[in-house]
Amino acid sequence: MSVLTIDAGTTVIKSVVLDDQGNEIAVSRVATEVLRPHPGWAEQDMDAVWQAVVRTVRDVLTDLTDPVWLVSFTAQGDGAWLIDDHGRPTGPAILWSDGRAGDLLTTWQRDGLLEAAFRRNGSLTCAGMPNALFAWLAAHDPDRLARSTTSLTAAGWLFLRLTGVRATDESDASAPFLDHTTGDYDPAIVELFGLTDHARLLPTVLGEDQRIAELTTDAAAQLGLPAGLPVVMAPYDIAATARGVGVVNPGQACSILGTTLCTEIVRTGIDTTGEPSGVNIAYRGRERVLRAFPTLNGAEVLGWAARLLHLPGPPELSRLAFESEPGARGLMFLPYLSPAGERAPFLDPAARGSFWGLSLDHTPADLARAVFDGLSLVLRDCLTAARTDITELRLCGGGANSDAWCALIADATGVPTARSGDTEIGAKGAFLTGLVRTGAESSMHRAADTYVHMQRSWHPDPERAAFYAALHDDFLTWRGLARTAGWRTTATWRPTPAAPRTTTPTPRRTDPTHHPAENPAPGGIRV
């Protein structure tokens, strides 16, 4: 018997079939489009996301001989996937990476609202979270809020399409509204952001043992599966990925080298002390919390750098980068390229990237190396903010395919790194969750021990680790200077529209001997 898993990411939808030993036996992927109708906006067509799921599921089942007995899925988190009474979208989904509420976030930060909310549930609001998006829509598109009855996440949208159940899980509800002591929304946080009138949009929160329902007849017909199969909603993608790489016990940690660079550490309780940073995600009821630092800048930075250097993609960028030396011969890169700024391990919607120390002596390899160094120091920055001792950092995501980067991260963080043998880690996390929720496995700890296997590990080189510890201090210094200076120039070229041109028509010549190319009129140009 097989398990069908779905991982609905931001830019790729994946369906993966695993056998009863947890081995991937079929994978299908479809790219999805992030719509950017205005600067800083990030949206998706909700029906297009569902159709991508249908397409990948049908594709992955094409040659499957072993019947599917379970469907388990994960998806991108945060955002606002608004639907009406009939379960239909009231517009495009607004994604976690959307930056339209950046100015509002700055105001909340200045007025102390963000810190007050963090002290209650350990999650720092970013522009793509529901509270910021509700407030922005209330000010700029109140009609859409009025037409909407529920705000789901991507996982909630898929659960609705698969089972007809309109709900969310605790991981998706964690930021910004969850009360970790009750597993339900904290009315004080809702009121803090002035959103009491919009609390009606918040879906029912399902506990760890409640996120299972049956596949509807309509969904089954679209997917090519039997109706009535159990469907499990796993935690949203960064939490499912942590499970998929075997990070399930207190003190274990992983970093996702993907669209976001997300560093996560398992804890027994939420941490609301220190400088507000990151999020605390309900991970296993009241027993476990995932302290997570999901950045806004990750693999997209590598794609940008590859285009800048006229390379086909990140793999070629990686090969070029490691032709240079650690520290890129004195070149440093602040990798804050997202139009929405940065959210972890610090919050600043205005954050922007820059190269420091650039000279005529630097080569394309140095620029590429500086990009990898900068992203690796962000991971060290997140581990420092977590204030939790760890002995190993497990790596996953597309970036973990680079052995050289995995080794660099060990040096840059001073922590041994390891990579899983699986390719679709979010799907593996959904697989483990499905087994535990259906009773096929007794616990997440046992499931991880049974089905998760690490492929390779790297240990920090003492000399390079000492070098990167010092470089991280410089990194923080340059970032502080950039932040103090306002991150970017205020001069922006906006040409004044030209005045309408008035011309006097030139009389048409009737002299057949006149040829403009040979005998230009006075003031004309010979061509």
Across 12-16, 19-23, 269-273, least confident range: 269-273
Residue 395 and residue 429 in contact, taking contact as beta carbons nearer than 8 Å: no
- Return the pLDDT at 345: 92
CB atoms within 10 A of CB 196: 11
Q: Name the DSSP letter for residue 190.
A: H
pLDDT of residue 159: 98
CATH class of the domain comprising 255-421+455-484: alpha beta
Is pLDDT of 525 > 60?
A: no
Assigned CATH topology for domain 2-245:
Nucleotidyltransferase; domain 5 (3.30.420)
Strand, helix or coil at 89? strand
- Interatomic CA distance for residues 214 and 216, integer angstroms: 6
Long-range contacts of 459-463 (CB under 8 A, 24+ apart): 459/410, 459/416, 460/410, 460/411, 460/413, 460/414, 460/415, 460/416, 461/410, 461/411
Contact in structure between 41 and 438 (CB atoms under 8 Å): no
Instruction: Choose among 196, 257, 269: nearest CA to 403.
Output: 257
Residue type, 226: P
Convert the pLDDT of each residue in 81-94 to its tens digit: 999 999 999 999 99
Distance between CA 74 and CA 426 in Å, rounded? 7
Q: How many CA atoms, within 13 angstroms, populate the side-chain half-sphere of residue 299?
A: 19
Strand-pair partners of 289: 267, 282
3-class DSSP assignment, residue 98? coil
List Cα–Cα distances, 332 to 335, 362, 373, 396, in angstroms.
10, 11, 8, 25
* Tokens standing for residue 303: 């794609």
The pLDDT of residue 504 is: 47
d(CA 296, CA 406): 20
**Res. 347: pLDDT tops 50:** yes
Least confident of 82-91, 138-147, 362-371, 499-508: 499-508
Work out the number of other CB atoms within 10 angstroms of the CB of residue 522. Answer: 4
Q: How far apart are the first and last CA of the chain?
A: 77
What percent of the chain is predicted at pLDDT more than 90? 80
> Could you tell me if 117 and 176 are in contact, meaning their C-beta atoms sit under 8 angstroms apart?
yes
Query: Which tokens hold the place of 53?
Result: 């799921």
**Encoded amino acid at 36, one letter:** R
State the DSSP H helix or E strand holding residue 321, giving kind and residue range, or none if neither. Answer: helix 314-321
- Report how far residue 246's alpha carbon sits from residue 266's, in angstroms, rounded to the nearest whole number: 11
Residue partners of 431: CB distance under 8 A and separation at least 6: 3, 5, 18, 22, 72, 244, 451
Q: Cβ(56)–Cβ(44) under 8 Å? A: no
Whole-angstrom distance, CA of residue 266 vs CA of residue 249 = 6
pLDDT of residue 490: 65
**Would you say residue 524 has pLDDT above 60?**
no
Q: Taking 60 as the threshold, does the pLDDT of residue 17 lie above it?
A: yes
Of residues 427 and 260, more confidently modeled:
427
d(CA 469, CA 460): 12
Q: What is the pLDDT of residues 297-323, one digit of tens each?
A: 998 899 999 999 999 999 999 999 999
Residue 498, pLDDT score: 64
**What is the mean predicted confidence (pLDDT) over 140-154?**
97
Structure tokens at 465: 């680790």
Phi, psi of 515, rounded to the nearest 5 degrees: -125, 110
For residues 98 and 82, what is the distance between their CA atoms, to the nearest angstrom? 15
CA distance 326 to 484: 27
pLDDT, position 520: 37
Averaged pLDDT for residues 365-380: 98
Q: CA 70 → CA 17, 18, 73, 218, 426, distances in Å? A: 10, 10, 10, 17, 16
Contact 321, 365 (CB under 8 A): yes
Beta bridge partners of 81: 152
> How, if at all, do strands 279-284 and 288-294 pair?
antiparallel
**Is there a contact between 30 and 52 (Cβ–Cβ < 8 Å)?**
yes
> pLDDT at residue 43 above 50?
yes
pLDDT in tens, 150-204: 999 999 999 999 999 999 999 999 999 999 999 999 999 999 999 999 999 999 9
Sequence-distant (≥ 6) Cβ neighbours of residue 480 within 8 angstroms: none
Q: Which of 409, 356, 365, 352 is nearest to 383 (CA)?
A: 409
Q: Which two tokens stand for residue 275?
A: 């400088």
pTM of the model: 0.85
Separation of alpha carbons 205 and 153, rounded Å: 12
Task: Please report the pLDDT score of residue 399 as a whole number.
Answer: 92
What does the pLDDT look like over 239-261, one tens digit per residue?
A: 999 999 999 999 899 999 988 89
Q: How far apart are CA 97 and CA 441, in angstroms?
A: 35
Asked if 151 contacts 82 with a C-beta cutoff of 8 angstroms, the reply is: yes
For residues 84 and 89, give the distance between their C-alpha atoms in angstroms, rounded to a whole number.
Answer: 6
Residue 112 CB contacts under 8 Å (≥ 6 apart), including other chains: none
pLDDT, averaged across the chain: 91
Q: Where are the domains of the chain?
A: 2-245, 255-421+455-484
d(CA 235, CA 241): 9
Phi/psi for 293 (5° steps) reads -125, 80
